[in-house]
C-alpha cells in the first residue's frame, strides 16, 4: 500500500502542534470546534503571495517553529476571548507562548 504524504499529513504537522501548545499554555476548560477553525485560519493566513503563486496551501516548513508559535498565539487569543482559558491573560500572548517552549539547554 502506498504511503500518503498529501494534505492530511500537512494539516496534522501544521495545526495539531499549535493546538497542543495553546492548550498547554491556556489550560482551557474544553477544546471546541472553533479552536480548530481558528488554527486553520491562522495557518492559512501565513501563506504569503510567493507561496500562493506556487499554489501552496500551507506555510513553508523552513520556518515551522515560527508558524506554530503564530498559530498557537492566535488560538490562545481565541481561548481567552471565548472564556475558555483557565489562566490569567498575559499582556503579550506571543511572548508568553514563546516563554513556554522547551529550551534544550544543558
CATH, residue 16:
3.40.50.10380
Assigned domain for 105 exists: no
Looking at the domain assignment, is residue 106 inside a domain? no
pTM: 0.83
96: confidence class by pLDDT, cuts 50, 70, 90: very high
In a domain, 31, yes or no: yes
Assess if residue 2 is contained within a domain. Answer: no
What is residue 106's predicted lDDT score, i.e. its pLDDT?
79
What is the number of structural domains in the chain? 1
CA end-to-end span of the chain: 43
Question: What is the C-alpha separation between 88 and 12, in angstroms, rounded?
Answer: 29
Show the domain range for 57: 8-98
Q: Which of 31, 7, 6, 8 is nearest to 18 (CA)?
A: 31
Q: Rounded distance, CA 75 to CA 69, Å?
A: 10
pLDDT for 27-49, tens place per residue? 999 999 999 999 999 988 888 77
The mean of the pLDDT values for the chain is 85
Q: Are the C-beta atoms of residues 20 and 12 closer than 8 Å to each other?
A: no
Amino acid at each position: 500500500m502506498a504511503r500518503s504524504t498529501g494534505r492530511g499529513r500537512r494539516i496534522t504537522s501544521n495545526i495539531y502542534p499549535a493546538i497542543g501548545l495553546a492548550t498547554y499554555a491556556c489550560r482551557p476548560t474544553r477544546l471546541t470546534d472553533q479552536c480548530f477553525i481558528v488554527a486553520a485560519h491562522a495557518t492559512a493566513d501565513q501563506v504569503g503571495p510567493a507561496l500562493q503563486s506556487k499554489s501552496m496551501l500551507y506555510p513553508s516548513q523552513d520556518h515551522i517553529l515560527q508558524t506554530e508559535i503564530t498559530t498557537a498565539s492566535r488560538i490562545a487569543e481565541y481561548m481567552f476571548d471565548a472564556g475558555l482559558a483557565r489562566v490569567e491573560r498575559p499582556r503579550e500572548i506571543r511572548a508568553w507562548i514563546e516563554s513556554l517552549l522547551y529550551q534544550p539547554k544543558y
